[in-house]
Amino acid sequence: MTIVTRSIDDDWRRWIAENLLLDAAPSALHDALVDHGFAPDDAAREIDAALASPYFHGAARLRNRLRKREWILSVYGALERMRAASGVIGRRERLSRDEFFEQYYFQNRPVIITGAFDCWPARTQWNFDYLRERCGDCEVEVQFGRDSDADYEVNQPKLKRMMRFADYVDLVERSGPTNDFYMTANNTSHNRAALAALWADVPVIGEYLDGESPDTGFFWMGPAGTKTPFHHDLTNNFMAQVIGRKRIKLVPLSDTPYMANHLHCYSQVDGSAIDYERFPSMRHAHLIECTLAPGELLFLPIGWWHYVEGLDASVTMTFTNFLRSNDFSRHYDTYHEL
């Protein structure tokens, strides 16, 4: 009988190199290769070749430099946990401009501000009937089919659907909890013009935001059960809750090494039910939770991981046009697989 053995290709060589750089024992890699049908001698030869390669030695030196940076992040993470041992985001009433920027914006710390947009007409006027009356005939862009796509956030450009805004409001109003459809900031390029009649109801929060900026904010609307998976943004953000409540889970920027981040700004961790067996590193992440109620303004610092879930049918406005520089994406180039 002829025994057929597999040939080790470049995909498996990359797997060997990556795991060696992650400090996996060569013997463990050898056993895994044999278990996958590779001849023991071939497995040993490939592992030895990887360990002897000058390319591998160069990659190992780069790994060591990156580990130094991870150590720096770990220091910031430890300091963050000392400062916020309770795991609760502070609430501040009508926080002054100087206090906000000095204590939170510049220090990369979240905060919930109350009373900041009580003067908005939207706070008293926005309801489903009002939204239908103001913009019901406008055609808006909405994401649909999110429940049938496990990577709905990554694949959101493929999930767009156009419809009358009144029909969408009806759908949100009569729907039970679902994540299948959601109007998000990713739909803004079209919806900013379509819903322009609403912008006068959400005037700029001049204490913190730039009223001269062409950025007029981002409109989010969906039923209870909408989810935004764990990710980080490339800007600082304000999240102004107008209708309904949202639950938010946050992890500091400094804990990025624990977040199973293998593509761009997305995490593989399901924020709705964190699987600590599959992602044991999450046990080291400093998880902070809050519920954002109507009239509350959450500052989401740049780089902070966040998972958002609608507890009620909700409308949220988000903003990035701060009075201080918020241009941090210029040197960001890791949109690809990490």
Task: Enter the pTM of the model.
Answer: 0.89
127 and 29, same domain (yes or no): no
Distances (CA, A) of 15 to 42, 52, 97, 135, 168: 15, 16, 51, 53, 47
Q: What is the DSSP letter of 228?
A: E
CATH number of the domain encompassing residue 149:
2.60.120.650
Residue 309 forms beta bridges with which residues? 227, 247
57 within domain boundaries: no
pLDDT of amino acid 5:
66
Q: Are 40 and 30 in contact (CB under 8 A)?
A: yes
190 and 302, same domain (yes or no): yes
pLDDT of amino acid 80:
85
58 within domain boundaries: no
287 and 212, same domain (yes or no): yes
203 within domain boundaries: yes
35 and 96, same domain (yes or no): no
Question: In 3D, which of 93, 337, 321, 61 has the Cα closest to residue 209?
Answer: 321
pLDDT digits (tens, 9 = 90+) for 127-158: 999 999 999 999 999 999 999 999 999 899 89
Question: In 3D, which of 262, 261, 196, 188 has the Cα closest to residue 221?
Answer: 188
203 and 253, same domain (yes or no): yes
108 within domain boundaries: yes
The whole-angstrom separation of Cα 163 and Cα 234 is 30
Question: In 3D, which of 207, 204, 235, 231 has the Cα closest to residue 320?
Answer: 235
pLDDT of amino acid 1:
40
Residues of the chain with pLDDT under 50: 1-2
19 and 154, same domain (yes or no): no
Domain count, the chain: 2
The whole-angstrom separation of Cα 19 and Cα 48 is 13
pLDDT of amino acid 213:
92
Domain of residue 127, residue span? 89-319
105 and 196, same domain (yes or no): yes
pLDDT of amino acid 85:
65
pLDDT of amino acid 17:
95
